[in-house]
Structure 1
Amino acid sequence: MGKKLFVLLVVLMSLSLLGIIFVQSFFINNSLENEEENFVRSVKRSLSYVSNSIEEDEFKDYLKKLQPYLNNENKANSSIIKQLLITAEDDINDKTIVHRNTVFEELYKVPSMFIEIDADSFNISKLYSERVTEYYNTTTIDGKKRMDPETSLKEYSSLGDLDKQVYEETIKTLLKDQPVYRRVSAKQVESLLRKELTKEGIDLDFEFAIYDEDLATKIMSQNFEMTSEARGVPIFLDNYNESSYNLWVEFPERKKYLLSSILKMIVLSIVFTSIIIVAYTSAIYQLIKQRQISQIKTDFINNMTHEFKTPIATINLALDSIKNPKILNDQEKVLRYLGMIKEENKRMHAQVENVLRISKLEKNELNISKERYDIHDLIEDAITHVELIVEDRKGYVKTHLSAEQASVLANETHFTNVLVNILDNAIKYSDEAPKIDVYTENVGNNIIVKIADQGNGMSKAVAKRVFEKFYREHTGNVHNVKGHGLGLAYVKRIVDDHQGHISVESEKGKGSTFIIRMPLIS
């Protein structure tokens, strides 16, 4: 996969994921707003019912108190008669129908002992209504219908009734200036609110209050606080549908209630979105990892090809030389070329062995038996493997073994290989004569081994990845240093298997220091 295509896929997948998260967030927010609107609508509907119920109960209560004063035995001190005439033509029966509604309004004086007003008595009306329907036979005169009064037929019906609207208006006028706490109780308001809210499906604790304009009245719950989330409706409307009183209700747990209504949807959305994010992250990680592995494999093949190409070429040259009749008779030269073939063969064999070691370590197939060893002895043994090469390059390996306790549990062969690999790297990555110092010291229950060189060093980015399998610092197509990127990966796996720790400190152009920490045994 090309780099541009890979970047394009990552960008498209990222945008798709962000789009899914945005849509989910928008949908949840929209659902929450809808729930809020439904909640507010239900609350306002409940408040309206409560307001009407309180006014209705108040009217019925005072009407019940007034009823004894509104019997037929009382005498009115004044009377007003109102009439309403409605005329209709009955063409089928050739008649004219006249409806006349007569209303008698009588005023009565009622004591004010049960209503606290500034008067000894007040007037209230009692209404009677009488409806008269008259039928007139009609005759046609000059082409027009005329009523015949002599042949008219009358129907009378009378109905004694209380005009509710008149009494409501009267009582509203009387009670308009009464303190609100004398008109309704907090217990009554709470009971009605709870009943109506339950009908609307709102089972939630609430606080309420009746305010006169912006001032609180005595009718309120204990913990009511006026907030922007409180909802209210007018109460005790006068004859002009106006009132200074407002009934307010507020829900302290409102947000939790609204969230709980869509909690399942939110949880499922978060779960599925999280799964998508994890799957997306894993996919991106795998893609990047595969690209890295692909690049590492390419580098590994190139390095291994180079590593094998040189010894194979050397072996071929040596064989060609041996075939030469002049050299074939020269035993010294034949032995020399045979020695070269053997050394190059050993190099290739060592490289193959390193690959196999790493493979076995990763599959946990490599048995590493451990015994008690003095780490100083292992260091001295490792130095003997490289001292001839160091001397040949006019360099040195100096030891500074200051640790008083040096007993560790280790595998002699593998741990010696660890030290040899590090020393070998110090030699290979020194352009001039290799200068290597080996230090030991005790820190707590551990022994610290430091192998410091004054070679080429490496950048911080390279130092972070130097223990990765197949990793080598990119130097273009120049392979001036032999290796295949397996040595330090093998080193780290062996040290880890010994319950130890290895790290590196390095600076470009100033050399590197490898630090091994191993646990001591008593």
Structure 2
Amino acid sequence: MINKITRLIIVSILSLVALSVIQSTLIKNTYNLKKENFINKAKEAISKIDEYTIGIDSLNIKWKTFLINKLDEYSLNNLTKKGVINELRRITDSINPPYIKAYNEELRKKKLGYNLKFHKVLKNITLVSRGKKDTIFKGKSNPDFKLLGSDFENVKELQVSNSYWHTERSFSREINKKELTVSYELHFESTNYINIDNWELIVFGKMKLILILSLLIFLVVIGVLYHSIKALITQKKNTDIKTDFINNITHELKTPLATLSLATKMLKKEEVKTKPVIIDSVINTIERQNTRLQKLIDQVLNNSLGYHEIKLNKQMMVIDQYINTVLDDFLLSVENNNVRLERCCRINNTIALDKFFVTTALFNILENAVKYGGTKIEVNCSIKNSKSLYISIADNGIGISKKNQELLFDKFYRVATNEIHDVKGLGLGLYYSNQIIKAHGGAIFIESEKGNGTTFIINIPI
């Protein structure tokens, strides 16, 4: 059974890991789809602003015209490549404030619901003249050159598009009284980027319902598995306890039944029938064993009662007299001569309790001290009272581990030594004692360490 439970736990853990992986993959795919959809909508919102907004379009024409003029100067060797780029930077810096203002105004009209920024980054400027390429600017070998737009760090996922501007240019200029015609092709490449504040959080916000449902499903699965495994382990423990109880009660019943069977056979013998003394002895044996059987049955029936089912017949008792009487009776019932009982019971207050039931509870605890004691048993009983009566019963026995203390008052539970129950009993005594004290509105506490004896403390309200 243990192996089955272990296998079940391993399979459950592996299943949870597999479920986690599958769920994580589904969430990741959903995130990617939501992100792509969100970014595409943002791209769509700004895709036509540059081309179809008069103010922005005029600013674009301004810097492009300016660049063509500077490239003309470069073609005539009147300006260096660096000079062209510096002049381009100067013109774009000058028109950038009105460009950003116009762009933001268009974005406000679209009512996107989030803060979006935009800029163009120069990637490449190449002139082709008479079949020869002349690279004015190459983005890979230079830091990003922002043409127009707001300042922010570029993110590949938020790249909107690549722009390509191609034009053929031809112009004439009089130089040294000679007409000079210059022709070239311009290849201009730029990349458009957007930036959205906390865009990852916005995407996750759109996935809020999916994330919550996924988490709830995962927690439900963990909860179901946990309670299933816990119920299985509890069932296993209960089965072991009941099996142990059946074995114990069977063992307890065998002895009187065997004795009764033997006594019956003796009464059938002819030589016994003529001897009244033997007949009387056998009858007495039958009566004793019958009484023993009846006590065993009564113990099982009575000890199965819960504290709310116990009907108390309370009477006022002088505390010290009552406790000392119980201890005296206990000493008379003990067959072991190696029992030493110390007592400190000098409180003459009175308390209302059911004498029969409380005596049964005390006897059960005292008998346990003898059962689980060593060769020389020492039991110490003391009492004190304030608002409650406290009865302390301490022994020098084998002690009880913390693990077993939690189960000590469970029905049918018995503490085993090295996994073997080497002390006779049904596992009902302490359970019944606890129910009796509960019926009086009190409680039983235990203080113990393995190998260092045990102390039971009974608390009954006065």
The structure richer in helix per residue is 2
Matched residue type, 1:29: K
1:477 CA drift (Å): 10
1:343 CA drift (Å): 3.4
Map of 1:396 onto structure 2: 340
Matched residue type, 2:17: L
Which of 412, 418, 426 is equivalent to 1:484? 426
Q: TM-score, normalised by structure 2?
A: 0.70
Map of 2:91 onto structure 1: 177
Matched residue type, 2:255: T
Whole-Å Cα distance in 2 between the matches of residues 498 and 174 of structure 1? 97
Q: Per-residue CA shift, 1:407-447, capped at 9, x if unaligned? A: 555433322211111111222233535432111234x7444
1:271 CA drift (Å): 2.7
Which of 234, 237, 241 is equivalent to 2:188? 241
* 2:117 counterpart of 1:208: yes
1:62-461 paired onto structure 2 within 5 Å: 177-181=91-95, 184=98, 186-195=100-109, 203-206=112-115, 208=117, 226=153, 231=158, 240-242=187-189, 248-252=194-198, 254-321=199-266, 334-361=279-306, 364-368=308-312, 373-390=317-334, 393-401=337-345, 410-442=353-385, 445-461=387-403
Matched residue type, 2:231: Q
Whole-Å Cα distance in 1 between the matches of residues 274 and 226 of structure 2? 69
Measured at CA, do residues 240 and 381 of structure 1 come closer, stay the same or move farther in structure 2, by a change above 3 Å? farther
For the 8 Å contact 2:119–2:149, the answer to whether it is kept is: yes
For the 8 Å contact 1:447–1:517, the answer to whether it is kept is: yes
Whole-Å Cα distance in 2 between the matches of residues 405 and 37 of structure 1? 86
Matched residue type, 2:432: Y
Matched residue type, 1:286: A
Q: TM-score, normalised by structure 1?
A: 0.63
Q: Per-residue CA shift, 1:69-93, capped at 9, x if unaligned? A: xxxxxxxxxxxxxxxxxxxxxxxxx
Name the SS for the 1:188 alignment partner.
Answer: helix
Name the SS for the 1:398 alignment partner.
Answer: strand
Measured at CA, do residues 62 and 388 of structure 1 come closer, stay the same or move farther in structure 2, by a change above 3 Å? closer
For the 8 Å contact 1:297–1:470, the answer to whether it is kept is: yes
Measured at CA, do residues 433 and 205 of structure 1 come closer, stay the same or move farther in structure 2, by a change above 3 Å? same
For the 8 Å contact 2:411–2:428, the answer to whether it is kept is: yes
% of aligned pairs identical?
27
1:241 CA drift (Å): 3.0
Map of 1:40 onto structure 2: 39
Q: Which runs of 5+ in 2 are unaligned?
A: 70-86, 122-142, 166-185
Whole-Å Cα distance in 2 between the matches of residues 204 and 217 of structure 1? 26
Whole-Å Cα distance in 2 between the matches of residues 446 and 501 of structure 1? 11
Whole-Å Cα distance in 1 between the matches of residues 290 and 439 of structure 2? 30
Using the TM superposition, name which of 367-376 and 27-36 deviates more: 367-376
Whole-Å Cα distance in 1 between the matches of residues 207 and 294 of structure 2? 68
Map of 1:12 onto structure 2: 11
Measured at CA, do residues 31 and 327 of structure 1 come closer, stay the same or move farther in structure 2, by a change above 3 Å? same
Q: Choose 1 or 2 for highest CA Rg.
A: 1
For the 8 Å contact 1:51–1:235, the answer to whether it is kept is: no
Matched residue type, 2:18: G
Whole-Å Cα distance in 1 between the matches of residues 120 and 314 of structure 2? 87
Using the TM superposition, name which of 23-32 and 187-196 deviates more: 187-196
Aligned CA-pair RMSD: 4.3
Q: Which runs of 5+ in 1 are unaligned?
A: 67-114, 120-172
Measured at CA, do residues 392 and 28 of structure 1 come closer, stay the same or move farther in structure 2, by a change above 3 Å? closer
1:358 CA drift (Å): 3.8
Whole-Å Cα distance in 1 between the matches of residues 36 and 419 of structure 2? 70
Map of 1:57 onto structure 2: 55
1:406 CA drift (Å): 5.9
Q: Per-residue CA shift, 1:10-59, capped at 9, x if unaligned? A: 433443343223312221122112212322333344444334445x5344
Which of 392, 405, 408 is equivalent to 1:466? 408
For the 8 Å contact 1:446–1:517, the answer to whether it is kept is: yes
1:323 CA drift (Å): 5.4
Q: Per-residue CA shift, 1:132-179, capped at 9, x if unaligned? A: xxxxxxxxxxxxxxxxxxxxxxxxxxxxxxxxxxxxxxxxx9997153
Using the TM superposition, name which of 366-375 and 497-506 deviates more: 366-375
Matched residue type, 2:55: D
Measured at CA, do residues 30 and 274 of structure 1 come closer, stay the same or move farther in structure 2, by a change above 3 Å? same
Whole-Å Cα distance in 1 between the matches of residues 276 and 379 of structure 2? 39
Name the SS for the 1:360 alignment partner.
Answer: coil
Name the SS for the 1:380 alignment partner.
Answer: helix
